[in-house]
């Protein structure tokens, strides 16, 4: 009988939980301000794409309302993009067909109601994603712009999940 009771206790307290069920942020935080990320890379417009994608991801989640002024915000998300690397990882007849993009950023989520107390921060937030190249296209610049837009969206999805769910 004791073994059965011990087994029940162990099984019910194993620590498993469903992803997305927790809310990392204080429920009293209702609004967020996302100023433009600082771009410390040589990649033009990267900060604009990433900032826009992060803001849109917050809006799509519906958990926080995006505001246009820090004075109206309960929380402020500050970020800098510190590195952007792109490497070919697959080839076909001498042409790259797949690339890996890596972004490293410094991110801080601040409680603006409490003198910008740090709620969450990561000095080396790293995001890596692969993307396929359309080998039929001859416009490399257009493909790179498309890839950056897509990567910015996935970067934003991962970052907002980390911020809202505490991963």
pLDDT of residue 138: 62
Q: Is 7 a member of any domain? A: no
Instruction: Say how many CA atoms lie within 13 Å of 167 toward its Cβ.
Output: 12
pTM (global) more than 0.85: no
Which residue from 115, 129, 120, 114 is spatially nearest to 77, judged by alpha carbons?
Answer: 120
In this structure, what token pair is assigned to residue 120?
A: 């969450």
- Tell me the C-alpha distance between 37 and 65, whole Å: 19
Q: CATH number, domain at 83?
A: 3.30.160.150
Q: Is 62 a member of any domain? A: yes
Q: Is 70 a member of any domain? A: yes
Q: Is 20 a member of any domain? A: no
Q: Is 3 a member of any domain? A: no
Q: Is 14 a member of any domain? A: no
Reduced to 3 states, what is the DSSP secondary structure of residue 80?
A: strand
What are 98-151's pLDDT values in tens digits? 989 999 999 999 999 999 999 999 999 999 999 887 766 666 566 777 888 889
Domain count, the chain: 1
Query: Is the Cβ–Cβ distance between 75 and 108 less than 8 Å?
Result: no
Q: Is 18 a member of any domain? A: no
Q: Is 98 a member of any domain? A: yes
Domain that holds residue 116: 26-165
Rg, the chain, Cα only: 20
């Amino acid at each position: 009988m004791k073994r059965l009771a011990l087994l029940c206790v162990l099984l019910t307290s194993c620590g498993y939980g469903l992803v997305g069920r927790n809310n990392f942020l204080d429920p009293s935080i209702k609004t967020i301000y996302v100023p433009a990320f600082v771009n410390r890379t040589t990649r033009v417009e990267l900060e604009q794409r990433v900032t826009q994608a992060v803001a849109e991801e917050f809006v799509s989640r519906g958990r926080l309302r995006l505001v246009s002024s820090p004075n109206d915000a309960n929380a402020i998300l500050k970020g800098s993009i510190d590195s952007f690397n792109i490497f070919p990882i697959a080839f076909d007849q001498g042409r790259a067909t797949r690339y890996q993009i890596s972004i490293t950023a410094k991110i801080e989520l601040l409680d603006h109601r409490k003198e910008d107390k740090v709620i969450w921060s990561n000095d080396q937030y790293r995001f890596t994603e692969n993307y396929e190249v359309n080998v039929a296209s001859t416009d490399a610049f257009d493909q790179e712009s498309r890839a950056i837009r897509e990567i910015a969206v996935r970067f934003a999805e991962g970052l907002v999940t980390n911020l809202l769910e505490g991963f």
